[in-house]
Chains A and B, each alone.
Chain A
Amino acid sequence: MHNKTVAELSRDLESGQVSSVELTRHFLDRIQQQDSQYNSFITVTEEQAMAEAEAADQRRQRGDATPWTGIPFAQKDIFCTRGVRTTCGSKMLEPFVPPYNATVTQRFEDAGAVSLGKTNMDEFAMGSSTESSYFGATTNPWGERRVPGGSSGGSAAAVAARLTPAATATDTGGSIRQPAALCGITGLKPTYGRVSRYGMVAFASSLDQGGTMARTAEDNALMLNVMAGFDPRDSTSVDQPVPDYTADLAQPLNGLRIGLPKEYFTDQLSPAMADAVQSAVREYEALGASVREISLPHANLAIAAYYIIAPAECSANLSRFDGVRYGYRCKNPEDLLDLYTRTRAEGFGSEVKRRIMIGTYALSAGYYDAYYAKAQKVRRLIRQDFIDAFDDVDVIMSPTTPSPAFVQGEKTSDPVTMYLEDIFTISTNLAGLPAMSVPAGMIDGLPVGLQIIGRYFDEARLLNVAHQFQQATDWHLRTPND
């Protein structure tokens, strides 16, 4: 049962071949038996899941089921869940039980999906390895001591280990695509504003975007059908019609124009990774696509711009954690300043503190123009590069990451080394474009991903392009420990 896709499970539920209670029990058992190896979940909501499964089976019998009614899934622990602890991987939110649902949570609840629990992540989504979680690191199912990527490493590892058929995730600089690539699954970061941020713990609000993780492009499309849409509660939510993302999956790729940015294919790129991407591109040519070289002249500035903008926004967003209204509070504060400074010193981990301090510095008097305003100008240049490139091509392809999953501890001593992990993913967050990672090869027994970037609101085409690749290849069907 755990090898089936969401689409297949949905059909099995519809035909009565399996019940949601059976399905949910099966995945809960797998989590119980196997997750001690991976630590992909922070909280498993067994009782609630079984109750939701029973309700879903009754709803199906009444005849008002959606494709998601009775399908188990997992939620990144960044989405608020009413009555269920939402930690964001931090000691600061260890005691936090939200009194409300995120819009994403509510939409899955309304569709009748069954939440298995909350998945592990880098603290406040700041990281690329899921090693900075207060609740311990997550391990990649593909290799002992390998990181699953981050920050949505728990969601990616849980899907790869088939502890859940699908999981929600978020992406601020690569946090869906990079872990999807490293865990051999399919992930989609939609256009900025496509999925509501309401109730999604904020990191860098002009970059944060909720998205999808599953084994196939088709399942990602099914997820986005639930998640996408305008939300008056999110001030940057975009009021645009939501298509049925499964409708165009079967479209042939004849005439598709693919761009390969020359800035990403330099001699810095490992030959093995370049080979993997080139074979994927040849597969696309066989499917009728044409390929040309394009240029993103400011690509080399993306990481620098990001590491001003993201920390600046994080320093403002995380100022809300003050030990007064919710979350962690230090013991016996002497006065108000002591309450604030000790609560934050004890409640935040070291990477979060570094980013808050970089952001505070970049926004402080005398430095604002040199750092924050400068980074915002470079951000516009980076976006313009993409707009120009999309005059000539329909999608842009690159590796998702510079290399396959690295070993735990390898990049924790120098934050800058870790930051370079997101070198191919960050610029699409700055531009606000949608992008996917699709399994596209193996290097030394570890999966690697192909990144596919699309025009604004062109998620349906990305999913079509990914789905057609998955009809012709079987990288996405490979599983660890087979």
Chain B
Amino acid sequence: MTISRQDIEKVALLARIRVDDQEVTALEQDLGNILGLVDQLQAADTEATEPMAHPLDAVQRLRPDVVSESDQRAAFQAIAPATENGLYLVPRVIE
């Protein structure tokens, strides 16, 4: 299994991770090796097998639709990199 430089650049953008040329070269090798390892899966006969998402086949638990948590915005924003007037700050999105 090989993975191209273009694939890696595309995946890096999807994953929101900046990579430089040198890293792309290293990732080509490493991701190629990992995909080579996982390619063994293709040999398994899974024709009659359902995908398994949870070891005990449990489904999402439901709870009554009532307020269960108190407002902790101040505590959560105290550890944010940048906030103002109760809002999280990011670089300007619209000029």
A residues lining the B interface (CB < 8 Å): 95-99, 192-193, 206, 232, 235-236, 238, 298, 300-301, 303-305, 307-308, 315, 319, 322-329, 333-342, 344-345, 348, 353-354, 356-358, 360-361, 364, 370-371, 373-381, 383, 414-416, 419, 430-433, 456
Which residues of the partner chain A approach B93 to less than 8 Å between Cβ atoms? Answer: 335-336
- List, in ascending order, chain A residues with CB within 8 A of B11's CB: 357, 360-361, 364
Asked if A416 and B37 sit within 8 Å, CB to CB, the answer is: yes
| Minimum C-beta distance from A384 to chain B (A) | 9
Which of A301, A326, A345, A354 is the one whose CB lies under 8 Å from B30?
A: A354
Given contacts A357-B17, A371-B38, contact A298 B52 (CB under 8 A): no
In the complex, B90 has a CB within 8 A of chain A: yes
Interface bits B33-52 vs A (CB < 8 Å: 1, else 0): 11111111110101001111
Which chain B residues border A374 with CB–CB below 8 Å? 41-42, 44, 46
In the complex, what distance in Å separates the CA atom of A380 from the CA atom of B41?
13
Q: A380 with B15: in contact, given A336-B93, A432-B56 (CB under 8 Å)?
A: no
**A95 to B80 Cα, complex, angstroms:** 10
User: How far is B36's CA from A340's CA once the two chains are assembled, in angstroms?
Assistant: 30
When the two chains form the complex, which single residue of A238, A326, A383, A416 contacts B79, counting CB atoms closer than 8 Å? Answer: A326
| Closest chain B CB from A322 CB (angstroms) | 7
Q: Say how far B33's CB is from chain A's closest CB, in angstroms.
A: 5
Question: From residue 57 to 87 of chain B, which have CB atoms closer than 8 A to chain A?
Answer: 58, 60-61, 63, 72, 75-76, 78-82
B60 shortest CB reach to chain A, Å:
6
Residues from chain A with Cβ under 8 Å of B40 in the complex: 300-301, 304
Tell whether A335 pairs with B91 under 8 Å between CB atoms, given A356-B17, A432-B55: yes
Of B14, B31, B44, the most chain A CB neighbours within 10 A belong to B44
Flag if B12 contacts A357 (CB, 8 Å). yes
Q: Are A325 and B8 in contact (CB under 8 A)?
A: no
In the bound complex, what is the Cα–Cα distance between A10 and B9 (angstroms)? 56
Contact with B18, one of A308, A345, A414 (Cβ below 8 angstroms): A345
Question: Which of A319, A326, A361 has the most B CB atoms < 10 Å from its CB?
Answer: A361
Chain B residue contacts of A370, Cβ below 8 A: 42
Separation of A376 and B13 alpha carbons in the complex (Å) = 26
Q: A304 near B55 (CB under 8 angstroms)?
A: no
20 A-B pairs with C-beta separation under 8 A: A206-B53, A235-B60, A236-B58, A303-B37, A305-B38, A307-B34, A307-B37, A319-B16, A324-B81, A324-B90, A326-B79, A336-B90, A344-B16, A361-B35, A374-B42, A376-B53, A377-B49, A378-B49, A415-B34, A432-B54
Distance of B69 from chain A, by nearest CB (Å): 10
Determine chain B's interface SS by DSSP, over half rule: loop
Q: CB-nearest residue of chain B relative to A354?
A: B30
- What are the 5 tightest A-B residue pairs by CB atom distance, in nearest-first order? A432-B55, A376-B51, A380-B52, A377-B46, A329-B81
Chain B: minimal CB distance from A340 (Å): 4
Q: How far is the CA of A192 from the CA of B57 in the complex (A)?
A: 11
Q: How far is the CA of A26 from the CA of B69 in the complex (A)?
A: 40
Could you tell me if A360 and B14 are in contact, using CB atoms closer than 8 angstroms?
yes
Most chain B CB inside 10 Å of its own CB: which residue of A300, A324, A333, A414 = A324
Chain A residues within an 8 Å CB radius of B61: 235
* B91 and A301 within 8 A (CB): no
Indicate which residue in A192, A338, A358 contacts B31 across the interface (CB closer than 8 Å). Answer: A358
B-chain residues with CB within 8 Å of residue A353 when the two chains form the complex: 15, 17, 19
In the assembly, what is the distance between CA of A409 and CA of B22, in Å?
21
Assess whether A378 is in contact with B46, with CB atoms less than 8 Å apart: yes
Nearest CB in chain A: distance from B7 CB, A? 7
- Given the contacts A99-B72, A348-B17, A381-B49, A325 and B88 also touching, CB distance less than 8 Å: yes
Min Cβ gap A107→B in Å is 19
**Residues on the B chain within 8 Å of A325, using CB:** 76, 80, 88
Shortest beta-carbon distance, B3 to chain A, in Å?
Answer: 7
Do B15 and A357 have beta carbons less than 8 Å apart? Answer: yes
Partner of B50, one of A360, A380, A419, A433: A380
A328 to B82, CA, bound (A): 11
Q: Contact: A324 with B80, CB < 8 Å? A: yes
Residues of B with C-beta under 8 A to A375: 38, 41
Contacts of B36 in A (CB 8 A): 416
B residues near A308, Cβ cutoff 8 Å: 38, 41
Interface pair A193/B52, CB less than 8 Å apart: no
What are the residues of chain A within 8 A of B12 when measuring CB–CB? Answer: 341, 357
Give A163 to B52 CA distance when docked, in angstroms. 41
Residue from B34, B53, B76, B78 within 8 A of A358 (CB atoms): B34
> Residues of B contacting A336 with CB < 8 Å?
90-91, 93
Extra inter-chain contacts (17) besides given A301-B40, A326-B80, A345-B18, CB under 8 Å = A95-B79, A315-B15, A324-B80, A325-B80, A328-B81, A335-B91, A337-B16, A341-B12, A353-B15, A353-B17, A353-B19, A354-B31, A357-B15, A375-B38, A383-B55, A414-B33, A416-B33
Provide the residues of chain A in CB contact with B30, threshold 8 Å.
354, 414-415
Contact: B41 with A97, CB < 8 Å?
Answer: no
In whole angstroms, what is the CA distance A46 to B39 when docked?
Answer: 49
> With the chains together, A381 CA to B37 CA distance in Å?
18
A69 to chain B, nearest CB (A): 29
